Structure 1
């Protein structure tokens, strides 16, 4: 085959011409087609110098001549045809646009379909509530959606977009799961911005969630929560409130903005300002309405709301709720110490150890421990777990007090009294079971202590006024008695 086969000698516009024209088009000022035509003619005539920014090589006009050696003159329509070719437009857009703009407008995207079971995957994202507070500030919200049912199962609000907002959303989601007796969601997809710090711990695959996916930065179309946020805004929020939309929208979703003439020329007048509490209350009501609205796929779920789908389609393979692990990662942390070998102080309340056996796990001469717990809606502890230097020790239970005034004691006081006596009985049994045996000491030739000799102590008599069950066996469970003498109280305090 001759070497002339497949070359571009017969083409008026060669591949080199096309690359030069497109390179001129992607200059930082993004010239029009007519300007590109003028620059091309100036270049081939030797009036304009063009060089490669990457290599520094200067383009030679002699490489852009016709068969007679004359500068190749391309018409303006030819230049436009080169620039308007679809393949050329793709390359030009790649060179001119930023990563996010090109990714969303030109790049192919993944095509997916939904799942079958709720809580199989959670998708999370933050949003700024569209209406503003005084001063132009936004309320920041974080939502957790169930992918299949589209229900919002976790809500958190704050004045700042920070870690507290993320943790608050997780806590709210797991409180809902605990109330309904569901398991831990199998998978989760999250953003990079606020979640990347949890990659090695809470959001490590298999630690809490079996499957974890971090979406690419600024890739909103990958994260399903973005689409659900948009659907919520254009349906429920737009129906219930004014000023929900964009200035560039058309029709009912357009929001007009009025510019204020001042020195900066960048101030816009809002219609109305709201308080933080008003915006949060409105959004919570909207979320409740969203969850109880018919699921958009009525062909698959006829007559069922999003909440109905969530409850009816729970994935049967979910792991049970693990509050121990959750408390460690997203719970409150309190440094405390063990008091009187029996209690710790957490959140301004006393908590019983499960028993004196916990003391055996402590380091020598170290009673300091760390308590972790998940707070409820009011911020109060639920289950409290103790650790010492990242080693789990115990799950403690609250100390329930009883009324010392006998005339005012109720049934709850009697139950609390009995429970506390059980703690003391358990403690006394532990002491008896682990009592240190007595030994004698001395030299092999002249022992100073006779192991046969017993130490005599004066007898101690218990008062005859004590109830029989208290004076007989300190290991037995105590029962309630209508009156508590000082002797009884002293025994209880031992």
Structure 2
């Protein structure tokens, strides 16, 4: 189960903007698994960026997708259909009751437990010393620190890393374990990662088409379809598909998932290039060439099988009772000539044409 919520950084940027954050916490381990930062008010775009960050963090660590999400009512209600497609279970917190959400406690531990050790985090009017901080309203000589936006985000990510690798708050249950260790060691066995389903709701989408029954063009690069069985799922004569993808940390696209409307077709993988000069091939070039040759062989085999199933061969079968033409005997049959039709015409007919024929 993950719980999502937004919070605001106490330090402003050098431009004077307040930095808002939207974070996703794993409830059992308290670890932060997704985040997004922006100067604007939290909106659907920030939520989507947070989910994409969570997807990247989970897949890079071999973790499954959460089975349940706990969200606030005012922001996620408009994204309910999208969230119900992502999570089998969805829980909306009671409107106006912040204590109903687990994320509130975890944000407090992040800001007043980890970040306050490095930055002036808190409220000048707080009664408890743990939450107090100096303020220009109480101290005229105080100058509030400011940081460049990118520097502030990078620093906050360092605090998140420190928070995740700090001891879990429940040391009685997890003695000596950090939040991240609890996350990695207590994975729900029922959870799994259905990537094609997740990326359909949070990934970028590109309208493209399957070319030559073999590959698609995505972001100016070629990606081959992983299985030729995807061609059977296409609508007749329609090769247009939607490719859902997310870039890696280095900007490359490792995979894309293909849909045609609501029908899932399969995965597309990047076409690897190899050196065609045999004298200059490396072992990696030989691996790529061998894999492509196997795939082509599989494609031609499939094509041959489909042609054999579509067209039936015609064979000539010799009849065992066929008569030898040299032994055929010709017999003449006498046939009596038929009587002319006009002989049957009445001579006493009043019809002029009839009497003319009879006079012949």
**Structure 2: unaligned runs, 5 residues or longer:** 318-360
Unaligned regions of 5+ residues in structure 1, if any?
1-120, 260-268, 441-449, 453-494
Matched residue, 1:474: none
Compute the TM-score of the two structures, normalised by the length of structure 1: 0.58
Greater Cα shift, 284-293 or 378-387: 378-387
In structure 2, distance between residues paired with 1:432 and 1:301: 60
Counterpart check, 1:283 vs 2:156: yes
Aligned to 1:257: 136
Aligned match of 1:90:
none
Residues 224 and 214 of structure 1: CA distance in aligned 2, closer, same or farther (over 3 Å) = same
Residue in structure 1 matched with residue 323 of structure 2 by the alignment: none
Deviating runs (4+, > 4 A) in structure 1?
none
- Report SS of the residue matched to 1:229: helix
| TM-score, scaled relative to structure 2 | 0.77
Query: 2 CA distance for matches of 1:148 and 1:437?
Result: 60
What does residue 307 of structure 1 align with? 180
Q: 1:432 to 1:285 in 2, by over 3 A?
A: same
* Deviation per residue, 1:64-116 (Å, 9 max, x gap): xxxxxxxxxxxxxxxxxxxxxxxxxxxxxxxxxxxxxxxxxxxxxxxxxxxxx
User: Relative contact order (C-alpha < 8 Å, sep 6+): which is higher?
Assistant: 2
User: SS of 1:394's equivalent?
Assistant: strand
Q: 1:423 aligns with which of 295, 301, 308?
A: 295
**Counterpart of 1:227 in 2: which secondary structure?**
helix
Take 1:415 and 1:185, find their aligned partners in 2: how far apart are those partners?
36
Q: Shift of the alpha carbon at 1:438? A: 7.6
Please report how far the alpha carbon of residue 137 of structure 1 lies from its aligned counterpart in structure 2 after TM superposition: 0.8
- The alpha-carbon distance between structure 1 residues 159 and 378, as it changes in their structure 2 partners (threshold 3 A), is farther
Are 1:372 and 2:244 matched, yes or no?
yes
The equivalences for 1:344-363 within 5 A come to 344-363=216-235
Query: How much has 1:270 moved relative to structure 2?
Result: 5.7
Are the structure 2 counterparts of residues 406 and 230 from structure 1 closer, same or farther at C-alpha, using a change threshold of 3 Å? same
Taking the aligned partners of 1:379 and 1:230, their CA distance within structure 2 comes to 34
* Root mean square deviation of aligned Cα: 2.6
Structure 2 Cα separation of the partners of residues 355 and 189 of structure 1 = 37
Instruction: Give the alignment of 1:124-163 within 5 angstroms.
Output: 124-160=4-40, 161-163=42-44
**1:197, distance to aligned residue in structure 2 (A):** 2.4
Residues in 2 aligned to 1:356 and 1:293: alpha-carbon distance in whole angstroms: 48
* 1:219 and 2:100 correspond: no
How far apart are the structure 2 equivalents of 1:412 and 1:364?
Answer: 39
Q: CA, structure 1 residues 132+270, in 2 after alignment: closer, same or farther (shift >3 Å)?
A: farther
Question: Alpha carbons of 1:290 and 1:354: their partners in 2 closer, same or farther (altered >3 Å)?
Answer: closer
Contact 1:151 1:310 in 2 (8 A): yes
